[in-house]
Structure 1
Amino acid sequence: MSTDQEIRNVVLVHGAFADGSGWRGVHDNLTSRGYQVSIVQNALTSLADDIASTNRVLDRQDGPTILVGHSYGGVVITETGIHPNVAGLVYVSALAPDAGETTSQQYEGFAATPDFVIDVGDDGYGFLSHDKFKDGFAHDVSDADAAFLRDSQVPINMAIFSTPVKNAAWHDRPTWAVIASEDKAFDQAMLQHMAKRSGAEITYVPASHALFITQADVVADTIDAAAKSALPRTR
């Protein structure tokens, strides 16, 4: 790593139906380059809870930080990206609402995703369908890995999708996006619309919605590029 690099901190935020362990490949890649990487564990119980969890980790950073979100994690970083430690945002096939918008609103006007099926319980929490999990979430991982991801998934309080964000940090922070071209969780046009609206520098990669696992090197390269250009370098 260049000695004039100013940003050495990275915070990774997972999305719905997953936990922070999926970031292991990205973590290992970045730490081998000298970055200090922290991983948020979202409860997925409310947007406020996940904002608090992310801010708690951001408070621990000792300098400028690249904040990264996958899927619903994009909603979280959109809100928490206003934290003073955040120098840039990276969206990994992630939602990027504007201020005052909800997660659900991002889907309006875009094609349905029939392979991404959410089973909602009487308590309002949703799991991805047991039978459709691999097709909808991670078709490019092994059957064994898909089964483990399916069986260890974290349910999300579906009320989160109707909770508006108060701030949209991408208006004020440089932004990057990695879009999985084989993502079956979101319509491609929807992902491109959100990324372009946020002014993101976009990288496309052939991958499923689980690109944070299957394309860890591409994601890490994007984070590295963001860290090298989000702030001016000292000479």
Structure 2
Amino acid sequence: MSTDREIRNVVLVHGAFADGSGWRGVHDILTARGYTVTIVQNPLTSLADDVAATTRILDRQDGPTILVGHSWGGTVITEAGVHPKVAGLVYVSALAPDSGETTGQQYEGFAPTPEFVIDVGDDGYGFLDPGKFKAGFAHDASDEDAAFLRDSQVPINMSVFDSPVTHTAWRDKPTWAVIATEDKSFDQAMLQHMAKRSAATITTVSASHALFMTQAGVVADVIDEAAKGAAR
């Protein structure tokens, strides 16, 4: 999708084990550049619930919008991104299933990362292991920032990884991807595979999975590039 209107709206979607507060740096950079930025707070209870939360925010935009997802948020924007106001997509070390695929299927054939450990409770919700949180999620963050992320993490209903995507926004809309080369949550080959399959314009950066926070400048620059590119 391209538009002859300037794109000044950005919607940011967080992933599993996190909330929208990690986007603060990206938000501040983009708002200083004149963008209107809105952050979705996903409940992480089901794919349908997270897509509904994102759609609710997209409905409030006053024009074409760049939709951005980190990690699990990539699955959410893949489904929600078919919204008519979405002009382009940005995947930030994010999952990008195709129609009929589940998020869990994206891991098939790729090596697991031992630093990334999920503790699943009897109710089916998962937290990241506190003792391995920094190593697996945010090793390039300060001890204080990593501790805050660890202590404020939002559990995810693990059944979401078995929910198939029914729409694939990246099939029809221009796509960009930012990949953290030191990501311990996803295999590098897996991230590259998904980004290339979606025909994304790829930017790599030396960072952890928490690049949405630790590399806010790089992520904001790619979103800015996407807004300009999708408007052509």
Deviation of 1:5 after TM superposition, in Å, equals: 6.7
Q: 1:1-235 alignment to 2 at 5 Å?
A: 6-232=6-232
Contact persistence 1:17–1:154 (CA under 8 A) = yes
- Contact residue 5 and residue 64 of structure 2 kept, 8 A: no
Q: CA deviation at 1:188?
A: 0.1
* Structure 1 position 38, deviation (Å): 0.3
Is the CA contact (8 Å cut-off) linking 2:88 and 2:230 kept in structure 1?
yes
Long gaps (5+) in structure 2: none
Equivalent-residue separation in structure 2 for 1:208 and 1:85 (angstroms): 31
Deviations 1:167-221 (A, max 9, x none): 1100000000000000000000000000000000000000000000010000000
| C-alpha deviation, 1:231, in angstroms | 2.0
Divergent runs of 4+, >4 A: none
Q: Which moved more, 1:141-150 or 1:151-160?
A: 141-150
Aligned Cα RMSD in Å?
A: 0.8
Q: Cα–Cα, structure 1 residues 47 and 74, in superposed 2: closer, same or farther, change >3 Å?
A: same
TM (norm. structure 1) is 0.96
TM-score, scaled relative to structure 2:
0.98
Provide the C-alpha distance between the structure 1 equivalents of 2:183 and 2:19, rounded to a whole number of angstroms: 19
In structure 2, distance between residues paired with 1:154 and 1:34: 30
Could you tell me whether the CA contact under 8 Å between 1:5 and 1:228 is conserved in 2? no
2:177 counterpart SS class = strand
Alpha-carbon separation, structure 1, partners of 2:215 and 2:172: 28
For residues 133 and 111 of structure 1, the distance between their equivalents in structure 2, rounded to whole angstroms, comes to 19
Classify the secondary structure of the residue corresponding to 1:212.
helix
Measure, in 1, the Cα distance between the counterparts of 2:6 and 2:59. Answer: 18
1:153 and 1:77 mapped to 2: Cα distance? Answer: 21
CA displacement, residues 90-117 of structure 1 (integer Å, 9 cap, x when unaligned) = 0000000000000000000001111000
Post-superposition offset of 1:142: 1.0
Q: State the alpha-carbon separation in 1 of the partners of residues 47 and 169 from structure 2.
A: 16
Q: Which amino acid aligns with 2:111?
A: A
> Secondary structure of 1:44's match?
coil
Note the C-alpha offset of 1:148.
1.0
Cα distance between partner residues in 1 of 2:154 and 2:223:
25
Residue identity in the other structure for 1:128: L
Q: Distance in 2 between matches of 1:39 and 1:139?
A: 24
Identical-residue share of aligned pairs (%): 79
Separation (CA, whole Å) in 2 of partners of 1:211 and 1:52 = 25
What runs of 5+ residues in structure 1 fail to find an aligned partner?
Answer: none
CA distance in 2 between counterparts of 1:5 and 1:166 reads 29
Query: How many residue pairs end up in the alignment?
Result: 229
For 1:151 and 1:33, the matched residues in 2 are separated by 32
Is the Cα contact below 8 Å between 1:14 and 1:41 reproduced in 2?
yes
Q: Partners in 2 of 1:5 and 1:221 — Cα distance? A: 20
SS of alignment partner, residue 131 of structure 2:
coil
CA distance in 1, matches of 2:229, 2:130: 41
Equivalent residues of 1:138, 1:209 under 8 A apart: yes
Matched to 2:154, the amino acid is V
